[in-house]
Amino acid sequence: MTARLLSVGFTVLFLSSCVPPGAARISCRNEDGDAVDWFAFYKLPQNREQKNPSTGLEYMYLDPMTHRWRRSQGLVNMTQSILGRTLQQLYEAHEAKNNRTAYLIYNDNAPRSVDYSWKQGHAKGFLLWDKSQGFWLIHTIPRFPPFPEEGYSYPSTGKKYGQIGICITYNYSQFVEIDSQLLSCMPNIYSCSIPATFHPELTYLPKLCARSRIPRIPHRRLSRLQSIKGQNFLHFAKSPYFVDDIYVTWMAQQLQTNLLVETWQPKLPSNCSLPYYVYNIKQIRMSGQFAFSSYYDHAKWCVSQRYKRHWTCIGDLNRSPFQTRRGGGFICTQNKHIYLAFRGLILHYQNCNQS
């Protein structure tokens, strides 16, 4: 199945728009509220050192206009942040309660939840779309975002550790493919609305939203996606039935590159047992910011060891034995600006012959 999916071309079907004339199109948004094709953000961990203190709310961001990490104008808990600006569209759609817009929010550690969701995928994100276009934002922040009726806020539980996310704007045709990818991830959905007008094209998201019976879930699924401006992405989706280290046995071998991996407190050692190796990152530093170890970083990302392949992947899963049994996924790209931005963060990684 993987080989067949990889042979599929980057075909994008430009469906007719159902957006009223003059209405703003659904898109990832920058801090000025302008539509962007994609953005990535890196929230810095809390740091109480006197030389370079951090509240745990500062963040860096990257988009097609910046080409490199840029310090945020404000804090991540502000409505003017890139997350606040992007989510505002979801809040407006929720309040309008029309049948032209759909949304879905998922998090294994959802807000208001008393019990952690161990059975669902270790995945966090939210989607908003109409029959013209929309966005998918993948992130690592527990208990985020709040329920739409509560408006924007940032959880105090997300301050201590580093967090990461990526938002990509897609044409509606791509949500048909995302529909199947999220099925494999088995997300814990805590708020959603998918009107009947979307059901003919979307097979699984309406069922997941309604908590209906779903068919057999694929062990894993690989999909090519394309942003609204033509940036190519590859999405890896793993179900709990694929019991293995997604980095070592699938991603590195599929992408044909050694990977440098940043995850929260990795319990699995660097691995050189297969043709393409996986090395744990031990310490990173943003330009002009303090350095910090993976112990204080809840982010999940990886890059090619060498520029020749220049893959960057952002997603859901830690390098932990327990998470080999969890669903989740990664969105990957060979965008050179994204690669250079992430590769430049790495201060030190662990070789396989190091303890």
Of 40, 191, 185, 182, which Cα lies nearest the Cα of 122? 185
Catalytic member of 298, 310, 337, 348: 298
Q: Within 13 A of 213's CA, how many CA atoms are on the CB side? A: 0
Answer whether 16's CB lies under 8 Å from 136's CB: no
Q: Within 13 A of 37's CA, how many CA atoms are on the CB side? A: 14
Answer whether 301's CB lies under 8 Å from 315's CB: yes
Answer whether 163's CB lies under 8 Å from 125's CB: no
Tokens (6 digits) for 344: 């430049």
Tokens (6 digits) for 286: 């943003």
Answer whether 32's CB lies under 8 Å from 72's CB: no
Of 87, 104, 77, which Cα lies nearest the Cα of 33? 87
Strands 35-36 and 278-285: unpaired
Of 248, 279, 303, which Cα lies nearest the Cα of 352? 279
Strands 259-262 and 278-285: parallel
Q: Within 13 A of 119's CA, how many CA atoms are on the CB side? A: 2
User: Is residue 298 flagged as an active site residue?
Assistant: yes
Of 156, 354, 164, 339, which Cα lies nearest the Cα of 271? 354
Element spanning 95, H or E:
helix 82-96
How many residues are recorded in the chain? 355
For residues 239 and 325, what is the distance between their CA atoms, to the nearest angstrom? 8
Of 277, 264, 257, 296, which Cα lies nearest the Cα of 354? 277
Would you give the DSSP letter of residue 248? I
Catalytic annotation, residues: 298
